[in-house]
Structure 1
Amino acid sequence: MTRAAPPSSGRADTGSVPLPTGSTASAAPVASGRGAAGAARRVAASPVLLGVAVVLVHLWLGHAALTGPNQPMGDVLSVYSTWMQRGVGAGDWVGIDRPWVYPILAAVPMLLARVGGPEHYGTAWLTIVLLLDAAALAVLTRGGRRELAAAWWWLAFLVVLGPIAVGRIDAVTVALALVGLLLLTARPALAAALLTVAAWVKVWPAALVVAALIAVRRRRDVLTAAVTTSAVVVAISLVLGSGATVLGFVGQQAGRGLQVESLTAVPWLWRAASGAADTTVYYDRDILTFQVAGPGVALAAQATTVVMALVVIAVVLLGLRAVRSGASAERLLAPLSLGLVTALIVTNKVGSPQFVSWLAVPVVVGLVLQRRGGPSFVVPAALSLVVAGLTQVIYPWCYDSLLAAEPWIVLVATLRGVAEVGLLALAAAQLWRLGRTATAGRGRMGA
């Protein structure tokens, strides 16, 4: 936030003493600067300008996704569309007729993207993402000018993250999860339902359901809505004939190796960069991802699941400690959400670049809640932009260099990993302080 310039230490006397010439000259730039800052704020507060910016940002992201190197829209155009074509044309539906890497509701936006026919699948997908993001921004800014800073930050984050922000199923979950977390104050049941739907598209928003259960007072509403929504999804899936396949994504994820973009893969990338013959990057045709192979990789891939569970539990315990100390939801929700989301990113053996898009949800909510008594989220917001920018360098622009384990791009991946760990540490530090200093004087969200 731009602060107004402090008043001059010496004011001109408005009595009989004439105003010095020098004072007049120096006052003009100050007034001009204040006027320029005010004009800039008024322009930024324009709903029309924000709407135009949303469209322009998504047009650029879509163009980069369709034309950039290393196929940023490859999953959408080659994988998602093929899955849906098999379902429509041959009745072979992923998640129902055979196990799938995603939860069952991921098929909904993939199927909707066929509305313009197979030849326009990519354009339809990008339009769906644009509409979802625009709807999320409309919910975000419904409170007026107070939330515009968070809205502009999110648009900046999308630009800095690049085409991967729109080229994967994660884009759908980010918009749904953001709306869910923003509605938690007024409509906890509806918010929990939206978060649960997002988790049935891709699992990670389940962490936000956990954060809501810990942070808000109306836990029964949140839990009931989450359980009911999940029951409806499973029931519909069973009616469609899925059987146990409805949970097939759990086994699919468990069978993955150590993906090249993950933080855990960095030591082996450095081994490959140093010329070690026993460490390589290869393409797994079953999972359709690049993974690392080398001494100890299998053990490390297995250990990540245990480490993830331990880190998530540690973050949850910090959140529960803060609740016991009387921390209000306004102060607790954002750092707890950030801690859980970054825990999933840092400890994940997959580590796909689109995972970074998840950071937008807790950071945007943190920027909103810091105006309502929550902890400052300026530093996490800035560090998230750094993570996003380094991610775009890695993918799509320099992905070939990463696959070749060139030292400079391995260094970029290392720095990004350090920044991600830094975000986790910031969230943990905020939670620790809340557990030590929180007071019960602030009303709880949803009370």
Structure 2
Amino acid sequence: MKRIASVPAVWLGWVVARLVLIYLLKIDHSPRGDVAYYFAGLYGTDPTQMTEYPHAGTWPTVLLGWLTGEDITTFYIGFTVITLLVDAAFLALLLRHHPTQPRAFQAAWFWVFFGTAAGHTFVWRLDIFPAVAVAGAAALLATRPLFASALLGFATTMKLWPGVLAAGLVGRFNQSKTWQRLLAFFCTIFALCGVTIATSGVDRLLSPLNYQGVRGLQLESIPATFLLIQAHHHPGRWHLGYAPSKSFEISGPGVDTAMLWSTIAMTAMLVFAIGWALYRLFAGGWTTRTTMAFFTVMVLLLIATNKVFSPQYIVWLGPLLAVVIRQRLPRGFASLKVLQGLIAVCTIVAAGLGTLVYPFNYDYIWQYVGEKMFPVYVLAARNILILVMVLIGLIWLGLEVAFSKRLARAEGEQPDSPSALPADTAAPAHAQPVAQDLGGLKPTRTTP
């Protein structure tokens, strides 16, 4: 164990793992059509390209374009390099101060394996940028909560989905830091929205929201799983293909019902988030540990209930979970380690299954319907695994809440009272995560 629990061993593992990833890119480079789409959004003649992405979410491509110019080959290479640099920088932050962080190596090895398992979408999609921003926000909650809240606001302007996590910033109503966190979050969003309006207009600000209205049921989503299997057992009854929403969708009998159930599930997820915020607002008990658990559960619920589940969505979970794993575990709660370990393993497996489906077997999902069932069953297994992870995550969140209450009782204070240990005023040693550290191709999926 000591041999792999060392900085040189982790970096050697990272190099080997990323060489494997580069080999996977070479075997099937069709997903680079997404990068070509980003290039066209910068230098093409169609003004609607990339307007489905939030304006701030496209800034990495703008910065890259300044460096690479109008040569698409250079842009391909540059995009791969910049995502790998973000990957390496995040790993370095996970390893920082490892002598005083006993679980740093576990988090680092998780990240090493996760990046390769996530495959092409890890380096050829924009999702790694908001995902790392969310992880940074989680890591900074303990020591720099205002900066963490601002970082979460920035992530929200990049990809929208992190906005739901803001419910986790809510503490007791009579705690000033509750309102400071929320103010930092919303002020960051308003400021960045102002930048978008000033540089690109109101229409550009609203275009990602308008885009959501034209999206149908993506064939990889969890609500579409049963229909997809039926479509392959009965070819011709359902239509599977590339839709105007720039994603692969399914249409036919039962699709409207599946979308209705997805809407109901998404609504329930939002009610859960609001309920959590109200619970914290009146009952108090805000801690960094429970907030990070809440963040993780919400990401899983967003994926599970959505009518869209592109392979890159699993990237949302990886950086955040690495920060969670790096936390010190409290004594007497070994079950927390087990549950976190289960989610980590399931995340890597789910990412690997997603890569096996896309890009390596994706044609057998949507084009050659009924000819090969193995990729369909792999996709179904991935989706079932996500649901299992949701259940594990909810159990973990419940245990974290129980732990925070037990800690408050041990201190003889009510949660969120001015001097209570788990509240806004202080964070115990075991609640300190990385806080001090993270200061001309065939149709391709371009859906954000």
Q: Contact 2:134/2:151 (CA < 8 Å) preserved in 1? A: yes
Distance 1:381 1:196, change over 3 A: same
Cα distance 1:110–1:279, how it changes in 2: closer, same or farther (>3 A)?
same
Q: Which amino acid aligns with 1:159?
A: T
> 3-state DSSP class of the match of 2:224?
helix
TM-score with structure 2 setting the length: 0.80
Distance 1:283 1:428, change over 3 A: same
- Any gaps of 5 or more consecutive residues in structure 1? 1-36
1:347 deviates by 0.9
Pair 1:224–1:81, CA change in 2 (3 A):
same
| Counterpart position of 1:384 | 347
Q: Within 5 Å, give how 1:12-411 maps onto structure 2.
A: 37-38=1-2, 40-41=3-4, 44-46=5-7, 48-65=8-25, 67-69=26-28, 71-76=30-35, 78-86=36-44, 92=47, 100-114=51-65, 115-117=67-69, 118=71, 119-145=73-99, 146=101, 147-213=104-170, 218-284=177-243, 286-314=244-272, 317=275, 321=279, 327=285, 329-372=287-330, 375-376=336-337, 377-403=340-366, 404-405=368-369, 406-411=372-377
* CA deviation after TM superposition for structure 1 residue 423, in Å: 1.0
TM-superposed CA distance for 1:200, in Å, is: 1.4
Structure 2 partner of 1:416: 382
Distance 1:282 1:312, change over 3 A: same
Aligned counterparts of 1:342 and 1:214: Cα–Cα separation in 2: 22
CA RMSD of aligned residues (A): 2.7
1:73-110 residue CA offsets vs partner (Å, 9 max, x unmatched):
2211x210000113xxx694867xxxx21111122111
Q: Distance in 2 between matches of 1:415 and 1:324?
A: 40
Structure 1 residues 58 and 316: alpha-carbon distance in aligned structure 2, compared to 1, 3 A threshold:
farther
* Residue 398 to residue 92, structure 1, CA distance change in 2 (3 Å): closer
Q: 1:434 to 1:52 in 2, by over 3 A?
A: closer
- Name the aligned partner's letter for residue 61 of structure 2: M
Q: How far apart, in 1, do the equivalents of 2:46 and 2:245 lie? A: 22
Q: In 2, are the aligned partners of 1:266 and 1:414 still within 8 Å (CA)?
A: yes
Figure out how many residues of one structure are paired with residues of the other and give that number. 397
Report the Cα distance in structure 2 between the residues aligned to 1:273 and 1:215, rounded to whole angstroms: 51
Equivalent AA in structure 1 for residue 6 of structure 2: A
In the TM superposition, what whole-angstrom CA distance separates every residue of 1:237-272 from its partner, at most 9, and x where no partner exists?
A: 121141243022011022101111111111111111
* Cα displacement string for residues 152-190 of structure 1 (whole angstroms, at most 9, x for unaligned residues): 111111122222211111021222222221112111111
Q: Percent identity?
A: 25
Distance 1:157 1:211 in 2: 25
* Secondary structure of the structure 2 residue equivalent to 1:291: strand
Once the two structures are overlaid, the 10-residue window that deviates more, 48-57 or 250-259, is 48-57
Deviation readout 1:300-355 (Å, 9 max, x if unpaired): 33542332121232255357657877656243123211110011101111100000
Distance in 1 between residues matched to 2:401 and 2:106, nearest whole Å = 28
d(CA) in 1 for partners of 2:425 and 2:24?
Answer: 41
Match of 2:396 among 430, 433, 437: 430
Per the alignment, in what secondary structure is the counterpart of residue 159 of structure 1?
helix
Asked whether the equivalents of residues 140 and 182 of structure 1 are also in contact (C-alpha less than 8 Å), the reply is: no
> Contact (CA 8 Å) 1:140, 1:179: kept in 2 or not?
no
Residues 139, 323 of structure 2: 8 Å contact kept: yes
Identify the residue that residue 444 of structure 2 maps to in structure 1: none
Structure 2 counterpart of 1:407, which letter? M
User: Contact 2:172 / 2:280 at 8 angstroms: preserved in 1?
Assistant: no
Q: CA separation of 1:208/1:52 partners in 2, compared to 1, >3 Å: closer, same or farther?
A: farther
* Shift in Å, 1:293: 1.1
8 A contact 2:167–2:277 mirrored in 1: no
Distance 1:81 1:152 in 2: 33
* Gap change, CA 1:224 and 1:335, over 3 Å in 2: same
Structure 1 residues 110 and 60, CA, compared in 2 at 3 Å: closer, same or farther? farther
For residues 392-440 of structure 1, the C-alpha deviation after alignment (integer angstroms, 9 at most, x for no partner) is 1111211122223432222211211111011111121223344556322
| 3-state DSSP of counterpart to 1:200 | helix
Structure-2 change in CA distance of 1:302 and 1:233 (3 Å): farther
Contact 2:293/2:393 (<8 A) preserved: yes
Secondary structure (helix, strand or coil) at the match of 2:250 reads strand
CA shift for structure 1 position 224: 1.6
TM-score (norm 1): 0.81
Larger radius of gyration: 1
Give the whole-Å Cα distance in 1 for the aligned partners of 2:237 and 2:74. Answer: 44
